[in-house]
Amino acid sequence: MDLFIVKRMEANETAFCSLWTVHIRIHDCADLFVNEKLVGDYFFNRLNPFVCEDATAAIEEAANVCLRKGMDCYVYIHDKNTDVQNCLSAAGFKWIDTMQTLRAESERVEYDNEKIHVVRVDLRSIPSWVDAFCRSFDALEWKSEVKEKIDLHFKKMILLLSYFRVSNSSTEPAGCAALFPNQGLMGLYCLGTISNFRGRGVAKKMIDVSLRIAQQRGLDLLFLQTFTNEGLFPLYKKLGFRFVYKKRVYALKRNSN
């Protein structure tokens, strides 16, 4: 594992999360990202892996910030950091998921479905992308907040929207993705498919388009994250992605006390 590439991947991920959240520095040694309007989300809402002299104090402060805001508190920890994991367990946190980071090893995804068309989103089609995102992730209540963040940071991302031809004269939005060039790498985020179109190759098509865009920009590394609970790692492996590293996700729920 190339630690320099891992650090750049983590920096890309942190920069992307910061577009959607408020950054709060904890004890001058840890970074907390929160957005009270993205209820229940633990990709954007998180305390990043940290190195603090007093890990327990940092964890307690992050938990207090979240609980004061009426939010659950989520903490990401590198898989082998048992000391901090023990601190989290002692503070009442539960291990709820694992995030795996994968990198593309192939230049193309050998798949083509003529019924699927992927376009780059322009300003006029932002509402369509927002709708596809919220439907893909079953989060319709996030619509206004997602649109606000996309409007604010549109120029920093490359938004993709897929359409599926349902008849000779009609297409419907089928999925979405957000590409984020940062740290000399291309992060692939928000890859989602609307439930009616799952299992038809929509995500494969968007990954293929993402690989092409990364190559066009001279970025030879495309990466993404997937959660163990989603069960998508075997799919990404078939599409040419290779495991790089993983982090555990711990949670302290508001009603756990």
> Residue 257 above 80 pLDDT?
no
Q: What's the CATH number where 47 sits?
A: 3.40.630
Q: What is the 3-state secondary structure (H, E, C) of 32-62?
A: EEECCCCCCCCCCCEECCCCCCCHHHHHHHH
pLDDT at 24: 98
DSSP run (H or E) holding 222 = strand 222-227
57-111 pLDDT per residue, tens = 999 999 999 999 999 999 999 999 999 999 999 999 999 999 999 999 987 777 6
Residue 117 within any structural domain of the chain: yes
With cut-offs at 50, 70 and 90, classify the pLDDT of residue 1. low
> Could you tell me if residue 215 is inside a domain?
yes
Distance CA 70, CA 249 (A): 19
Q: What is the pLDDT of residue 134?
A: 98
What tokens were used for 60? 């307690």
Query: What is the per-residue pLDDT across 147-163, written as a single tens digit (0 to 9) for each?
Result: 999 999 999 999 999 99
- 44, pLDDT greater than 60: yes
Residue 65, domain member (yes or no): yes
Q: What is the pTM of this model?
A: 0.95
Tell me how far apart the alpha carbons of residues 32 and 35 are, in angstroms, rounded to a whole number: 10
pLDDT at 189: 99
CATH number of the domain where residue 188 is located = 3.40.630.30
Predicted confidence band at 256 (pLDDT cuts at 50, 70, 90)?
Answer: low
What is the domain extent for residue 174? 106-232
Q: Is residue 51 part of a domain?
A: yes
The pLDDT score that the predictor gives to residue 178 is 99
Count: domains in the chain: 2
Token reading at 56: 């327990």
Task: Give the Cα separation of 150 and 156 in Å (integer).
Answer: 9
Strands 185-193 and 222-227: parallel
Residue 237 within any structural domain of the chain: no
Q: What percent of the chain has pLDDT over 70?
A: 98
Confidence grade of residue 166 (pLDDT, cut at 50, 70, 90): very high
Q: Which residues pair with 75 in a beta bridge?
A: 47, 250
Whether 43 and 137 share a structural domain: no
Return mean pLDDT, the chain: 95
Closest to 246 (Cα-Cα) out of 102, 97, 100, 103:
100
Q: What sign for the dihedral angle of Cα 198, 147, 179, 232?
A: negative
Which residues sit opposite 32 in a β-bridge?
Answer: 24, 47
For the chain, the helix, strand and coil percentages under 3-state DSSP, each to the nearest 5: 40, 35, 30
Paired tokens of 164: 């599926």
Q: C-alpha dihedral over 134, 210, 47, 97, to 10 degrees?
A: 70
d(CA 84, CA 125): 44
What's the distance, Cα to Cα, between the start and end of the chain in Å? 40
Greatest alpha-carbon pair distance for the chain in Å reads 63
- Let me know if residue 152 belongs to a domain: yes
Residue 238 maps to a domain: no
Residue 66 inside a domain? The answer is: yes
What pLDDT is recorded for position 39?
Answer: 87
Mean pLDDT confidence for 9-36? 98
